[in-house]
Amino acid sequence: MLPIGLLMKEHRLTEDMMELVVAEKERVRTSGRIDLSFIGKMVDFIRVYVDQCHHGKEEDILFAALKNKKIAAEHRKIMEELIEEHKQARSVIGSIVATAGNDNLPESKKAGDIAGAMECLTGLYARHIVKEDRDFFLPVMEYFDDREKDAMLKACYDFDMAMIHKKYKAVIDGLAGERK
């Protein structure tokens, strides 16, 4: 498997979540109420799976390896756009968290703002994933030989293993801190 195969597999799961976010956005717009349970699970998915895991591998492994290569200006431009889109997604998720936790906002205002942010997020990821799948991942693999691709794939698996242990170590530490 190429490293991009793993990253593209992660895209499919992200698309599945975005379908759920679109449906939830419509429910919020219709009802005028937010479901904090859904918001919490969505935020966790985006922050942990998409941002830390998926974007982490892109930025720390693939993009880092590309920085050491002489790549076409078009690919460098796309890579910079992708990094900027990762930042935009973090900002949108941050605004959802801030809005959901703002007890000074009326529920209808919260619902409208969160639905708008969800729409922004789903649109951003729809464009972002197409750009990566079609215009970036496959073409940039040409810059690497088989040995480099194998090393990146191993680095991706190692990244996942370290990340999951780090996440749940933090959960344990947080729970232990609450008990003191």
Q: Is 56 domain-assigned?
A: yes
Rounded Cα gap, residues 125 and 92, in angstroms: 11
For residue 141, what is the domain's CATH number? Answer: 1.20.120.520
Task: Count how many domains the chain has.
Answer: 1
Q: Is 180 domain-assigned?
A: no
Cβ 152 vs Cβ 65: under 8 Å: yes
Rounded Cα gap, residues 165 and 171, in angstroms: 10
Q: Is 178 domain-assigned?
A: no
Q: Secondary structure of the chain: what % helix, strand, coil (to 5)?
A: 90, 0, 10
Q: Is 47 domain-assigned?
A: yes
Q: In one letter, which amino acid is 19? A: E
Domain containing 85: what range?
Answer: 3-171
Q: Is 176 domain-assigned?
A: no
Q: Is 114 domain-assigned?
A: yes
* Residue range 95-118, pLDDT digits in tens: 999 999 999 999 999 999 999 999
The rounded percent of the chain whose pLDDT value lies above 70 is 98
pTM tops 0.95: no
Chain-centre distance for alpha carbon 90 = 8
Rounded Cα gap, residues 176 and 85, in angstroms: 36
